[in-house]
Amino acid sequence: MKHKILIVDDEPNIVMSLEYAFKKQDFEVFIARDGSEALEILKEQTPDIVLLDIMMPNVDGYQTLKHINNTSGLEASKVVFLTAKNKASDIEKGLKLGADKYVTKPFSVKKLVSEIMELLT
């Protein structure tokens, strides 16, 4: 069975490189450009992983994570923040809110894919 990943980021270059990398690993990939698009996708899909930027227009990553945490059926979805917010207080806040992992930009796509695969085992 294919793993499903939802990539939520407003930076097109990041989205393209992640989409390519995860499709190469045989993931079913869903794309949202902000939190509101992600919430629409989450009404129809239950991804194994949600890669979530924090700073986005409309609905930010924190609000999106709160929604995921409060939605029945999404408990098994792992959330990985992928963000430029790299202060210790930002990381602490993200993990306290329930993110399974916190990755700061810039990042290695290869390393990120490897870390995601570890989360799924």
The percentage of residues in the chain with a pLDDT greater than 90, rounded to a whole number, is 95
For residues 87 and 58, give the distance between their C-alpha atoms in angstroms, rounded to a whole number: 23
Predicted confidence band of residue 7 (pLDDT cuts 50, 70, 90): very high
What pLDDT score does 51 carry?
Answer: 97
The percentage of residues in the chain with a pLDDT greater than 70, rounded to a whole number, is 100
**Total-model pTM:** 0.95
The overall average pLDDT reported for the chain is 95
What pLDDT score does 121 carry?
Answer: 86
What pLDDT score does 90 carry?
Answer: 94
CATH number where 53 lies = 3.40.50.2300
Structurally, the chain folds into a number of domains equal to 1
Where in the sequence is the domain holding 8, given as residue range(s)?
4-119
pLDDT digit string, tens, across residues 10-66: 999 999 999 999 999 999 999 999 999 999 999 999 999 999 999 998 899 999 999
**Lookup: tokens for 20:** 């390519």
Answer whether 61's CB lies under 8 Å from 81's CB.
yes
6 exposed, middle or buried (CB, 10 Å; 0-12, 13-18, 19+)? buried
CA dihedral 5, 3, 29, 59 (to 10 degrees): -20
User: Which residues, in sequence order, are CB contacts of 66 under 8 Å at separation 6+?
Assistant: 97
